[in-house]
């Protein structure tokens, strides 16, 4: 980007084509790299009034959209389509705010072949996904080993539940498309499953340790979750590491087989401190009041 270009404040002479499903911040960052400027310099030149490009992925104003449309000579719907601003509020907590912690290795190879190796996709920060929405491949942990078969389907301790897990992921995807699902809010169920559990009245206290309601549907989850540091959410959000997410979306699919029966089964195992929260999420999950026996 030349000094004359900045002074003239004219649209960029070369506009890079976004890759399918690319994040807006990724697309803009690739332009900064292409023109040899830093991210703050690009932000300043565009007059976006933000500190980091990543902010635009979840919240973008009309003035910012107009500015990008002017400078990049593109359609405003294309700009909005590269963000998560159209997601319902209930799902925003499932979108990562930092670096992508997952990726699709098949798509990454295609990016490298088209000189877009640094592209980051929207699905790579979406906390309900275990597969790529573009090619269907299992996702991989971004910081994991680089082996050709290093996907979460191979490395997750819950890989045997893969079919259930993909069914659970599909429930969330269908909900976001406005299609009918067994739940009014699948994300509310996912949050319920991450509430801390307590011993059941008919079980001995001896040997009790910290656990989550999800373990009731996916035995062995507690063992793996206790290895995570810092500890995973207590139902505040449903964001958990990819290797554990296989169990979470599998649990969602199990719950979908009998929504009311499952919540009735889980309620006695919920810690009393979180019982009110459990009931609030049950109302959101089912979309109507339902008496759940204790």
- Contact (CB, 8 A) for 212 and 226: no
150 vs 195, more confident:
195
DSSP track, 195-246: SBB---TTS-STT----BTHHHHSTTHHHHHTTSSSPPPSSS-----HHHHH
- What is the chain's Cα-based Rg? 22
**Quick one: tokens of 50?**
């933000």
Q: Does any domain span residue 238?
A: yes
| pLDDT of 264 above 90 | yes
- Indicate the average pLDDT of the chain: 89
As for how many domains the chain has, the answer is 3
For residue 106, being part of any structural domain is answered with: yes
Domain hosting residue 141, numbered range: 102-153
Query: What is the structure's pLDDT at 204?
Result: 58
pLDDT interval class at 143 (50, 70, 90): confident
Please say whether the beta carbons of 253 and 165 come within 8 A: yes
Q: Tens digits of per-residue pLDDT, 2-36?
A: 445 444 567 888 999 999 999 999 999 999 999 99
Cβ atoms of residues 175 and 186 within 8 Å: yes
Q: Is residue 200 part of a domain?
A: yes
Q: CA angle at residue 272 from 88 to 264, to 5 degrees?
A: 65
Question: What's the average model confidence in pLDDT over 264-280?
Answer: 92
Please give the pLDDT value at position 205: 61
Residue 142 lies in a domain: yes
Q: Is the same domain home to 76 and 134?
A: no
Residue 61 pLDDT > 50: yes
Q: Does position 194 have pLDDT exceeding 70, yes or no?
A: yes
Q: Is the residue at 42 inside a domain?
A: yes
Q: Which domain-ending residue is among 61, 86, 111?
A: 86
Taking only the tens place, the pLDDT of each residue in 68-79 is: 999 999 999 999
Predicted pLDDT at 7:
44
């Amino acid at each position: 980007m030349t000094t004359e270009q900045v002074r003239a404040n004219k649209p960029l002479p070369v506009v890079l084509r976004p890759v399918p499903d690319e994040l807006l911040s990724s697309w803009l960052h690739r332009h900064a790299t292409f023109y040899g400027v830093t991210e703050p310099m690009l932000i300043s030149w565009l007059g976006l009034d933000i500190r980091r490009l990543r902010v635009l992925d979840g919240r973008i104003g009309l003035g910012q959209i107009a500015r990008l449309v002017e400078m990049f000579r593109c359609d405003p719907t294309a700009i909005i389509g590269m963000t998560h601003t159209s997601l319902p509020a209930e799902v925003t907590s499932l979108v990562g705010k930092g670096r992508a912690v997952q990726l699709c290795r098949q798509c990454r190879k295609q990016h490298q072949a088209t000189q877009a190796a640094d592209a980051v996709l929207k699905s790579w920060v979406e906390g309900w996904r275990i597969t790529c929405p573009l090619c269907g491949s299992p996702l991989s942990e971004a910081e994991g080993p680089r082996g050709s078969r290093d996907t979460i389907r191979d490395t997750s301790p819950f890989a045997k539940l893969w079919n259930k897990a993909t069914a659970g992921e599909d429930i969330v995807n269908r909900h976001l498309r406005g299609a009918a699902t067994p739940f009014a809010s699948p994300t509310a169920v996912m949050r319920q499953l991450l509430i801390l559990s307590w011993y059941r009245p008919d079980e001995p206290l001896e040997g009790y340790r910290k656990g989550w309601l999800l373990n009731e549907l996916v035995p062995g989850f507690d063992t793996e979750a206790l290895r995570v540091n810092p500890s995973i959410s207590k139902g505040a959000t449903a964001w958990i590491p990819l290797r554990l997410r296989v169990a979470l979306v599998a649990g969602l699919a199990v719950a979908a087989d009998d929504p009311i029966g499952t919540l009735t089964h889980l309620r006695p195992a919920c810690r009393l401190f979180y019982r009110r929260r459990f009931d609030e999420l049950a109302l959101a999950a089912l979309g109507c009041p339902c008496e759940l026996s204790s």
